[in-house]
Structure 1
């Protein structure tokens, strides 16, 4: 009976505590217990100083980093190297906690980035790095750091950004003048002829190209294993066929021919990195005369995918078909191109020569009566 009574007493106390907890904050309850000498104040443990090098080593070897796609890992390794070089130029190398105490270090670092897109990419990496490391070492939220890593983009970011046909033509011509011009020209036309993402293009292997069926096999976003078909326009497929024949035709009878990467600097053994292709395309954008300074800041290699979708709409292809061509799982994702298309139509009609025609003034007085 005593045991039952003891359990009952504890249960009653727990019930009362739950009522107090519902009515008062945890902080106030703790203070009341301490002032009543019913609880001993717990001194907060001093936070251990973690060097940036230690945080860097843990991050690169963490399970969270390992779960990222290969392209993301390569990008983040590169960003981490750049950021590490920057902080080693400071008078004193900050430890991990210093970035939360003095987050303006990050603001100064981001100022050095040339374009808005570059700043956004660097900020995205830094958010991931500091979120992971502060959670691991301190179980803290990086509120002040996050506030300083919000990149305000002065453009309408809700609508996708696309190139015009004239701009595409200039970029294609410029690509032919670069080193590896045939390769760069082919990559550009595969982008425009299929709407694939950057990583899908760099990972393309010879065995993924099906000429008769007119499609290539690519890995979907976030899927490292399964490959799905993406159809190409005839001109893009023909350009791709000629490039593969030109570069790899003499290797057709060797073992492993189908496993060779189409776009490679190591004779097909390894694919070009996403960063290499991105840098090549950034250079084309920088040299383009048909792009304004503002457009050079907001248009990226991913805008080629947007251009593919927009041109398809302009030619009358229905939105459901475009969804399938792009590989979107949800039609809602594809519908944003309709908004862009409609905004372009509105802009076009306002530029129409009849929009300000004198004939419109003929009935002005009648409309006002």
Structure 2
């Protein structure tokens, strides 16, 4: 790799890590920056034209948006200047999340025979966790008496508190009996922390045994959690806090997914 490119990538990575960007975001930004810098070394355009020409060569709208975000960060954090090119038209696609109905959740869980696996899937749905959060859960993060779970350093390195289902308490008590509070809640047969890929495979193995034909993933359990809470009449601002969303706009999408929202407002007529 060219030393100039290597130096700039290292500089950007340091800045992103210090600002608590997620591992996946850092990986994406470094990829797009490397592509941009390679393009820049081969073309003698002005900075503004260089960025414009680079983005024009990217067919995918989403990749173009991410590339532009990367370049903006590069200018702000590394070059210490304002990005010379403004791109207003590229926006991230708002994908409609796929959810499972409550009956489908029951059907899915019925296929999970391993107690550890059953609890993992149950907590993903019942507490609205991300897979990356459930594998990092430690026993000390649980408040079984008050039915709460403390999420340490979730997305954006932020802590939050979410709910725990009463139905899981007895099973969890048996799971953690005699264990240290500092241990991971869920551990493999070899006494190691679960990795994300393993949890995803647990979900897909159970899904294959059901009659569910929807294209869903582990993250669909989190979407289902939020949607079912809205259908139960829970205030969307509370759901925002439980999910750890930065903006209420992110949570609002679940309003469109809810088919059975309880409406307690009466007409003024």
| TM bracket, shorter-chain basis | 0.5 to 0.7
- Select the structure that is richer in helix: 1
Q: Specify the structure having the higher radius of gyration (Cα).
A: 1
Please point out which of 224, 229, 232 is paired with 1:312: 229
- 2:40 is aligned with 1:62: no
Please point out which of 171, 182, 188 is paired with 1:259: 182
Which runs of structure 2 are paired with 1:166-205 in the superposition (5 Å)?
166-176=103-113, 181-205=114-138
For residues 159 and 144 of structure 2, what CA distance do their matches in structure 1 show? Answer: 17
Per the alignment, in what secondary structure is the counterpart of residue 162 of structure 1? Answer: coil
Which runs of structure 2 are paired with 1:63-82 in the superposition (5 Å)?
63-65=11-13, 67=16, 72=23
Closer, same or farther: CA 223–129 of 1 in aligned 2, 3 Å: closer
- 2:94 is aligned with 1:143: no
For residues 230 and 197 of structure 2, what CA distance do their matches in structure 1 show? Answer: 30
Note the C-alpha offset of 1:144: 6.3
Unaligned runs of 5+ in 2: 41-49, 64-92, 262-269
Unaligned runs of 5+ in 1: 1-49, 77-124, 347-369
For residues 160 and 209 of structure 1, what CA distance do their matches in structure 2 show? Answer: 28
Closer, same or farther: CA 278–149 of 1 in aligned 2, 3 Å: farther
For residues 62 and 205 of structure 1, what CA distance do their matches in structure 2 show? Answer: 33
Q: Is the 8 A contact 1:186 1:243 kept in 2?
A: no
For residues 203 and 188 of structure 1, what CA distance do their matches in structure 2 show? Answer: 14
- 1:71-94 Cα deviation digits (max 9, x unpaired): 735996xxxxxxxxxxxxxxxxxx
For residues 106 and 196 of structure 2, what CA distance do their matches in structure 1 show? Answer: 23
Query: What residue in structure 1 maps to residue 199 of structure 2?
Result: 277
Note the C-alpha offset of 1:216: 1.5
Which runs of structure 2 are paired with 1:184-333 in the superposition (5 Å)?
184-224=117-157, 227-245=159-177, 249=178, 252=179, 257-265=180-188, 271-285=193-207, 287-292=208-213, 295-296=214-215, 299-333=216-250
Per the alignment, in what secondary structure is the counterpart of residue 230 of structure 1? Answer: strand
Q: Larger relative CO (CA 8 A, sep 6+): 1 or 2?
A: 2
Query: What residue in structure 2 maps to residue 133 of structure 1?
Result: 34
Q: Is the 8 A contact 1:195 1:309 kept in 2?
A: yes
Note the C-alpha offset of 1:163: 0.4
C-alpha RMSD over aligned residues: 3.6
Closer, same or farther: CA 134–276 of 1 in aligned 2, 3 Å: same
Q: Is the 8 A contact 1:312 1:322 kept in 2?
A: yes
TM-score w.r.t. structure 1 length?
0.50
- 1:154-210 Cα deviation digits (max 9, x unpaired): xx954322101222122112222xxxx111100011112211222111110111112
Per the alignment, in what secondary structure is the counterpart of residue 217 of structure 1? Answer: strand
Note the C-alpha offset of 1:65: 4.7
TM-score w.r.t. structure 2 length?
0.66
Per the alignment, in what secondary structure is the counterpart of residue 259 of structure 1? Answer: coil
| Number of corresponding residues | 217
